Amino acid sequence: MESLGFYVCVADLEDELIRSLGAASVEQIVDAQGELGPFRTLQKQPAWQGRTTEEQLRRFMGSGGRRKIRYAPLLVDALDLTQVPRPLDRVLAHV
């Protein structure tokens, strides 16, 4: 499928970016946006206790209306260009 220009993320683009950046870096971005408190609240919810910080961050990005749209450019801007997730790197090389 890659030869046709289709590149697949493991879960979704947020998952790829969170894994590339690392949870600590993403938490710093969340904190800079003034949303560390709401993120900590999500972490305390029984359904999210015991899950990895990466899973919690992915859920947080997918909740709250327009978070995916707001955080996507912030996560991309924080990327080290040598650590771009494969699907994103391949699609950019393809176009």
pLDDT tens for 12-68 read: 888 889 999 999 999 999 999 999 999 999 999 999 999 999 999 999 998 877 898
CB 23 within 8 A of CB 54: yes
Determine what percent of the chain falls in helix, strand and coil, rounding each to the nearest 5: 65, 0, 35
What kind and span of H or E run contains 40? helix 36-44
Radius of gyration of the chain (CA): 14
b/e map 22-35, b = 16+ CB within 10 Å: eeebbbebbeeeeb
Q: What is the model's pTM?
A: 0.85
pLDDT band of residue 6 (cuts 50, 70, 90) is: confident
Residue 1 above 90 pLDDT? no
Q: What is the pLDDT of residue 29?
A: 97
Structural domains of the chain, count: 1
Instruction: Note down the domain range covering 81.
Output: 2-94
Residue type at 35 in one-letter notation: E
